[in-house]
Amino acid sequence: MSPVSRRRFISMAAGATGSAAALSALPDALQQALAAPATTGGGIGDVQHVVVFMQENRAFDHYYGSMKGVRGFADRNAISLPGGRSAFHQPYSNSDGYILPFHMDTATTSAICADAPAMSYPVDTAIWNNGKYDAWNTARTPGLGMGYFKRADLPFYYALADAFTVCDHYFCSTLTQTNPNRLHLFTGSNGLSVGKSAVLDNTEPAAGFTWTTYAERLEAAGISWKIYQQSDNFDDNALAWFANFKNAKPGSALHDKGMATVPDLVTAFRHDIDAGTLPQVSWIIAPASLSEHANYKPAWGEDLSARLLAALAANQDVWSKTAFILNYDENGGFFDHVPPPVPPASSSQGISSVSTAGEISGGKAIGMGPRVPLIVVFSVKFSVLKIWVSPAVGRWSPCRLVSGATVWAAALRGQHGVVAVAAELAAGAGGFPSALGEGRARGLHWWP
């Protein structure tokens, strides 16, 4: 691992985009942080803070399918559909017999504010269609579900992906909506793997869920943590769906760290950075209009992400010790061409050599779900993520580990901050699903 100097960053950005102009889309503070001399040795032990910022409802192809170097629309290994065409030719009852992905041009149309296509556990499992992945337009009314954005539509996010690590093999945890996927982020389960009923939609019981959250495990382990949220949090704080947090009183750790709100996210985040009180683990919850959920502009979410990262980069010491993870809870009904890894629910789908307990509900697999975007922002490059290909090639490489939301929570313990101990957490949480073995997101060791 080695620190990223400004000169090296410029050369890599130029290699990725054809021009060093990619720098102009990054906040000044971020450029200055990249230009500053390294203050750490570049090892995993330098990570003292992990910030997880999960946004809403966007698919990988929908955001990054047109980006060079990732497994997007230029994928030569895209699966073939039963009719012989590639996965991009999704069947539909029009004159062509299919709909191809199409550009949602934000400069000339209002598509950037389009409503989300239909999504739910029944719809998403129908789209998956036993692995055929051929029902994006027939399992529901397609709407703008095949639409995607380009670099000109998402300039900051493309510059961020050029500068740091974009993962193109990252899947949401379940084949369904927001709540079950956020439950995986905050607890490692949608209930099924811990002996409860599977949560497969956005239902929230009035009394609250009762299994243990990662925040409670961090608290018990003496690891500092906090939720950054405003009063409008789009109901995206999964901790608020649990009985222990619903019943927590002001002054208690669960209330003050997990339920309290701040007037402004960026101001509160910057205050803790400057005061030296940024927790070891933080989750950021955006208000509805900045969440990037369809019918809200992605540009508004880009602006929030840029301001959060600028606040972090303005403090070189904290910046050099912090891993900032930007990911998305689910695809929001938008098309992605890579089928998720799913354990067999019946012998007709295959045979598993390991238990599928906690993986199957009602004769169907609960996940994984479609690919969603993930960017890891950190001041050094990790060889395990294969960011730097070689001096000869001179460009970034995307991370291609099979991963999902729970893997981040499985990396939040250790003397120096962030060390992967997935097996330890699995034992404490009732066991990560294991039907897909080590490559399964919920049990993946992604740190060296």
The residues near 96 (Cβ < 8 Å, ≥ 6 apart) are none
The residues near 353 (Cβ < 8 Å, ≥ 6 apart) are none
**Mean per-residue pLDDT, 131-144:** 96
The pLDDT of residue 30 is: 77
The residues near 405 (Cβ < 8 Å, ≥ 6 apart) are 54, 172, 173, 181, 182, 184, 185, 327, 329, 441
Q: Domain tally for the chain?
A: 1
The pLDDT of residue 43 is: 65
- Give the span between the Cα atoms of 329 and 173, in whole angstroms: 8
Across 159-168, 306-315, 373-382, least confident range: 373-382
Q: Three-state DSSP class for 165?
A: strand
| pLDDT of 344 strictly over 90 | yes
- Give the span between the Cα atoms of 219 and 121, in whole angstroms: 33
Does residue 14 form part of some domain? yes
| pLDDT of 398 strictly over 80 | no
Pairing of strands 49-55, 165-166: unpaired
Across 131-140, 149-158, 329-338, 432-441, least confident range: 432-441
Angstrom distances, CA of residue 396 to CA of 68, 168, 306: 11, 13, 21
347 vs 369: which has the higher pLDDT: 369
- Give the span between the Cα atoms of 26 and 173, in whole angstroms: 30
Q: Decide: 376 and 399 in contact? Cβ < 8 Å.
A: yes
Domain carrying residue 360: 2-443
The pLDDT of residue 21 is: 53
What rounded mean pLDDT belongs to the chain? 83
Q: Across-strand partners of 52?
A: 283, 325
The pLDDT of residue 401 is: 56
Does residue 448 form part of some domain? no
- Among candidates 378, 376, 348, which has minimal Cα distance to 363? 348
For 268-297, write each residue's pLDDT tens digit: 999 999 999 999 999 999 999 999 999 999
For 218-233, write each residue's pLDDT tens digit: 999 999 999 999 999 9
Q: Decide: 441 and 181 in contact? Cβ < 8 Å.
A: no
Across 26-30, 156-160, 422-426, least confident range: 422-426
- Give the span between the Cα atoms of 408 and 400, in whole angstroms: 15
Per-position b or e across 7-41, b if 16+ CB within 10 A of its CB: ebbbebbbbbbeeeebbebbbebbbbbbebeeebe
346 vs 329: which has the higher pLDDT: 329
For 159-192, write each residue's pLDDT tens digit: 999 988 899 999 999 999 999 999 999 999 999 9
The H or E element that residue 28 is part of is: helix 28-35
**Mean per-residue pLDDT, 73-88:** 97
- Among candidates 333, 355, 331, 334, which has minimal Cα distance to 343? 355
Does residue 329 form part of some domain? yes
Does residue 340 form part of some domain? yes
| pLDDT of 406 strictly over 70 | no
| pLDDT of 19 strictly over 80 | no
Angstrom distances, CA of residue 7 to CA of 32, 161, 163, 287, 377: 12, 17, 12, 37, 18
The pLDDT of residue 375 is: 95
Q: How confident is the model at residue 427 (pLDDT cuts 50, 70, 90)?
A: very low
- Ordered alpha helix ranges (H), 222-336: 243-246, 253-258, 265-275, 298-313, 316-319
Does residue 227 form part of some domain? yes
The pLDDT of residue 25 is: 72
| pLDDT of 420 strictly over 80 | no
**Mean per-residue pLDDT, 61-80:** 97
317 vs 442: which has the higher pLDDT: 317
Q: How confident is the model at residue 23 (pLDDT cuts 50, 70, 90)?
A: low
| pLDDT of 235 strictly over 80 | yes
- Give the span between the Cα atoms of 13 and 22, in whole angstroms: 6
- Among candidates 8, 38, 12, 13, which has minimal Cα distance to 25? 13
- Tokens representing 54 are 């999960």
**Mean per-residue pLDDT, 380-398:** 38
For 37-56, write each residue's pLDDT tens digit: 666 666 677 899 999 999 99
- Tokens representing 358 are 């906690």
For 147, phi then psi, to 5°, come to -75, 155
